[in-house]
Amino acid sequence: MSLSEEQEQAPPPRPKPKLDWMEDCHEWGVKVEPGPHGLTMGAINTGIYGEIPEVWDEMTRMPRGAYPVEGVPRIDLYSLNAKAEMWADNAADLYEEAVQRRWDPKVDIDWEAIPARPRAVELAMSQLCTELGQQAAIEVEVLGQWLYRMCYGYHEVKNFLATEAFDAARHTEAFRRRAVHGGGVLGLENAGALNRRLLEIRGGWTEAAVGLYIMRGTLTLLLYRYGEAYAGNAADQKLFRLALQDKARHMAYGITHLKYAIDHKGSGYALGLKKGLSAVDYELVKELQDPVLWEALAILFGGGLEHIEAGMAVVNRVKQAYLEQSLQRLQAVGIDKSASDLLPALQAYLPSSE
């Protein structure tokens, strides 16, 4: 082959790179230094990357601080694009905690160390764990309904809530595993009045958060605490304790967000949230009167079917604590609801003011 023929078959020379993209950046020279806990989400919030906007108008999946590209199609999904609709100042730190404190129910619980117990006690534990697993499954669904609506300007919240959904999935697995471990059965399905309410809230994420963290979360937290206290063996105690630390983290976000939202939206917004809770109270009456969970708890707290009356006295304290703590949390975030605003059927669980 001649030299001229080789030249004709040679590929054309590559064009010189323009490298225009190297000029498309907002802030060159930002240096992020790892802190005592490493290069955390909070640590990289430096310069413009730490500027949290009050409203995020970019309706694409552009990360906060990135340079926008012209012509990227708008995505009509992000109905939550204001800081007050989802923000909590502790979200980044809670995300780091969630990553560091993750656990695996398959290996972190010594299932073989759970002793055999009387049939009534084990059936009661199975019933409690069935309902706790169902509560966790509902939490996954509620979070799933709202996460995709949250814009990327507040990635700290989106990332934390993703860990919460994973925690809730872990709780579903863990309590399902515990329910079938001892007696080999799952219990009865919860009647679902409050579950349906949580899934059907359409006012906004903050409205859903009132139900998820205060009206449901307060009870779940109490059930974890009492479950640990009355577990009767180290393995069950650890199961409830690990679930409790996760739930406390979820509640820390929820309460902080609610207070932030109400502080920024004002008393009129708080009043609307209070009025919305009037309908929830009817679901709470049904939940607190449903005998299945409470009779199961009475057996566990009493230590057996023969001591169910003593256990029922503890159950009544749980119901009282649930309503009192729910009202305290509502007051703490700025929703002025008191015992006098409750339905008479709920007031009956509280000490008489006379």
pLDDT tens per residue, range 38-79: 889 988 888 888 889 999 988 888 888 888 888 888 887 888
**Residue 293 buriedness (CB in 10 A; 0-12 / 13-18 / 19+):** buried
Q: Does a structural domain hold residue 284?
A: yes
Note the residue count of the chain: 354
Contact indicator for 150, 80 with CB cutoff of 8 Å: yes
353 in any annotated domain = no
H or E stretch including 312?
helix 308-333
Least confident residue range of 7-11, 101-105, 316-320: 7-11
| Confidence (pTM) | 0.91
What percent of the chain lies above the pLDDT cut of 70?
A: 96
Mean pLDDT of 264-289: 94
- What H or E segment, with its residue span, contains residue 252? helix 234-265
At residue 74, the pLDDT reads 83
Percent of the chain whose predicted confidence (pLDDT) is above 90: 73
Q: Is 266 domain-assigned?
A: yes
pLDDT at 170: 98
Instruction: Tell me the residue range of the domain where 317 lies.
Output: 89-348
Q: Give pLDDT tens digits for 2-49.
A: 656 655 676 777 888 888 888 777 788 778 888 888 889 988 888 888
Asked whether residue 4 is domain-assigned, the answer is no
What is the token pair recorded at 91?
């979200």
**pLDDT interval class at 354 (50, 70, 90):** very low
pLDDT at res. 50: 86
Residue 134 belongs to a domain: yes
Cα–Cα nearest to 261, from 218, 207, 213, 201: 207
Average pLDDT, the chain: 92
- pLDDT of the residue at 78: 86
Among 130, 120, 129, CA closest to 188: 130
pLDDT digits (tens, 9 = 90+) for 162-220: 999 999 999 999 999 999 997 778 999 888 888 999 999 988 999 999 999 999 999 99
The answer for residues whose C-beta is within 8 angstroms of residue 306's C-beta and 6 or more apart is none
Contact 178, 135 (CB under 8 A): no
Residue with tokens 């449901």: 216
Q: Looking at residue 174, what is its pLDDT?
A: 97
Burial (CB < 10 A; 0-12, 13-18, 19+), residue 152, is middle
Residue 47 lies in a domain: no
Domain of 192: which CATH number? 1.10.620.20
Q: What angle do CA 176, 181, 182 make, to 5 degrees?
A: 125
* Range 177-200 burial, b when 16+ CB lie within 10 A, else e: bbbebbbeebbeebeeebbebbee
Cα 289 to Cα 121: distance, rounded to the nearest angstrom: 21
Sign of the Cα torsion 298, 195, 224, 222 reads negative
Domains: count for the chain? 1
Domain membership flag for residue 326 = yes
**Cβ atoms of residues 132 and 223 within 8 Å:** yes
> What is the average pLDDT across 254-262?
98
> Can you tell me the distance from the alpha carbon of 1 to that of 8, in angstroms, rounded to the nearest whole number?
11
119-139 residue pLDDT tens: 999 999 999 999 999 999 999
128 domain residue, yes or no:
yes
Confidence at 140, pLDDT banded by 50, 70, 90: very high
